[in-house]
Amino acid sequence: MSIQSKKSTDKKVKATKKSIPAFEWKYAPAPESTDHIDIKPQYELFIGGKFVKPATSEYFETTNPANNKVLSSIAKAGASDVDKAVKAARKAYAQSWQKMPARERGKYLYRIARLIQERAREFAVIETLDGGKPIRESRDIDIPLAANHFFYYAGWADKLPYAFPNRKPMPLGVAGQIIPWNFPLLMAAWKIAPALATGNTVVLKPAETTPLTALKLAELIQEAGLPEGVVNVVTGFGDTGAALVNHASVDKIAFTGSTPVGKYIQKAIAGTGKKVTLELGGKAANIIFDDAPIDQAVEGIVNGIFFNQGHVCCAGSRLFVQENIASTVIAKLKRRMKTLVVGDPMDKNTDIGAINSAAQLKKIQHYIQLGQQEGAEIYQTDQALPDKGLFCKPTLFLGTSQSHRIVQEEIFGPVLTIQTFRTIEEVIEKANNIPYGLSAGVWTDKGSKIFNLSNRLRAGVVWANTYNKFDPASPFGGYKESGFGREGGLHGLYPYVQFEH
C-alpha cells in the first residue's frame, strides 16, 4: 500500500493550510479474503430449475468497479428467453407452488434464509466485488438483512388469513420483478420473499452491472430444492426488463429503480390489468433542528448520504440545518468527512467504496459540475482517490437553494446539498416541495416536534434521530413520484395478493 502512504503525506501537507484541524487516520490495510469465493467464468440463465444457455447466444461482462477487472461473463436473455422463463413460472404456479400447502411453502423460504446465512461471507464478498460497496456494509447490512427478509416472510406463508381481516387472500400468479444495482441481493430478497410466501412464482431480472449474487441465489435456490420454475432468473439489460414487463402472461410487475423507468413501466402496462408496485427515486430531506443532539446528527448526516456511496434511493441528500447552528454543524460535518476512508471496497476499514459503474460516475460528475455552474459552493476532502477503478470524493454543496437542479434532482451519489432554515413551517414547505417523497430525517430532542414533522412530511419513511435503518418487519416505500406499494412488514404482503370475492 505504498500508494496510500504517499497520498496521506500529500494530504497532511494540504491539510495544514486549512483552518479546520486535520486528522490523520492511519489504518493498516485489512482486505477481506477472496480465497473461498467461487465465481464461475460464465453464468447461464436460471429457467425452470436449470441453468440454460440463452437463445441469443450472447453474453456480457460484469466487472469489479474498484479495479475494472472482469469477474464473469453473463448470459443475455432475449425476448424468447424471457418467454421461456415466464412459461416455466406459470407452469410451476399451476402445477406445484399454488397447490402446495402454505406451511410447506414457508419451509422452503426458511431453507433459503438458512442457506444465505450459511454462505453469508461468500455472498458478501461477491456483492462487494461485483457492486463496489464496502465489505463492511455487504457483510453487516445487505446479506444479513436479505436472510432475515426470507425468515420474516417464511413465517407469513401459513398465516395470511390473519393479515387481511374479513378477506380471503389469493396469489396473483406470475410476478415479474426487476431490481437495481445498489442493493443487489437485498432487493432480490425484498422481491422474492413476499411473492413466494403469498403463493406466487417469480421471474427476476437483476441489474446488468450486478448480476452475480442473484445468480448465486439461483444456485442456492436449486440447492434448497424448490420446485422447478418457482424462481427464474433472467439476466440482461433494459430490453430484457422490457420483455418481462410487456409479457402477456405476467400478472404482476414489481420494480425498484429510477423514476423515469418506473413511469415507462406504469405506462407500458396501462390497460393490461397487471398489478404493479414501483419503488422509485428519492431526494430526502434530512432536517437538523437547533435542539438536536449535534454529534449524533452529524453521524446521521454522514450515514444518510455516504452510506453505499450515496447509491441509495432514500439517501438523505438534502440537508436542512437550522440557521443558528449551521456553522457548527457544517464544521463538524467537514471534520467528520476527513475521517472517511474512500477506497478499496474489500478493505474492512473502507467507508466509501467504488461507484457502481462508469455511467453512474459520469452522471455524478455531471451533477458536481452543474452544482458549481449553478453557483453553489463545493466542498470536498483532499483525500486522494485510488488510481484505478471508479471513485468519487464525498461532496458537499453549500449555499444551495430550492431552485438548484442539484437540490431538485436525484444524483444517486455521495453528494449532499445544504440549505438553512429558520422556522418549522419553512422547512416543512421546502422539504415537501419536490416531486419525490420516499423518506425523510428529523433530528431534535423534542418529542412533540418529531410527531409534528412526522405527520406533515410527505414521505413513506421518516427516520427521527436516526437514518437509513431497514428491517424486514418495517414497511418501506414512497409517496408521490417515489412510487407506490410497500415492501416489508405486513403491508408488504398486499402487493402480492388479490381478494376472493
Binding site for other proteins (CB under 8 A): 148, 165-167, 259, 262-264, 266-267, 269-271, 278, 280, 293, 295-297, 299-300, 303, 435, 445, 450, 454-455, 459-467, 469, 471, 473-477, 479-484, 486, 489-491, 499, 501
CB of 228 to other proteins, least distance (A): 34
Cell numbers at residue 441, please? 430525517
Give Cβ neighbours of residue 14 (< 8 Å, ≥ 6 apart).
382
Q: Supply the DSSP symbol for 282.
A: -
Helix (H, G, I), strand (E, B) or coil at 177: strand
Nearer to other proteins, 21 or 165 (CB): 165
Please provide residue 195's backbone torsions phi and psi, each rounded to the nearest 5 degrees: -65, -45
CB of 21 to other proteins, least distance (A): 19
CB of 379 to other proteins, least distance (A): 22
Nearer to other proteins, 105 or 336 (CB): 336
Sign of the torsion angle spanned by Cα atoms 136, 212, 235, 174: negative
Nearer to other proteins, 223 or 471 (CB): 471
Task: Give CA–CA dist 5/247, Å, rounded.
Answer: 54
Half-sphere exposure of 216 (CA within 13 A, CB side): 26
Q: Mark whether 392 is an active-site residue.
A: no
DSSP collapsed to 3 states, 331-390: HHHHHHHHCCCECCCCECCCCECCCCCHHHHHHHHHHHHHHHHCCCEEEECCCCCCCCCC
Nearer to other proteins, 388 or 491 (CB): 491
Sign of the torsion angle spanned by Cα atoms 358, 360, 363, 368: negative
Cell numbers at residue 163, please? 393479515
CB of 206 to other proteins, least distance (A): 23
Helix (H, G, I), strand (E, B) or coil at 38: coil
Task: Spell 21-30 as b/e; 16+ CB within 10 A means b.
Answer: ebeeeeeeee
CB of 286 to other proteins, least distance (A): 12
Q: Bin 483: left if φ > 0, else alpha if -120 < ψ < 50, else beta.
A: left
| Residue in the structure block whose three cell numbers are 430531506 | 285
Q: Mark whether 314 is an active-site residue.
A: no
Nearer to other proteins, 59 or 264 (CB): 264
Nearer to other proteins, 61 or 425 (CB): 425
CB of 463 to other proteins, least distance (A): 5
Nearer to other proteins, 130 or 279 (CB): 279
The residue from 279, 410, 481, 487 that is catalytic is: 279
CB of 293 to other proteins, least distance (A): 5
DSSP assignments along 48-60, one per residue: TTEEE--TT--EE
Nearer to other proteins, 417 or 439 (CB): 439
Give Cβ neighbours of residue 104 (< 8 Å, ≥ 6 apart).
none
Q: How far is CA 394 from CA 140, 258, 296, 358, 402, in A?
A: 22, 22, 19, 17, 21
Half-sphere exposure of 458 (CA within 13 A, CB side): 15
CB of 170 to other proteins, least distance (A): 14
CB of 276 to other proteins, least distance (A): 10
Identity at 19, one-letter amino acid code: S
The residue from 122, 127, 208, 313 that is catalytic is: 313
Nearer to other proteins, 23 or 377 (CB): 23
User: To which H or E segment does residue 266 belong?
Assistant: helix 259-268
Q: Catalytic residue numbers? A: 279, 313
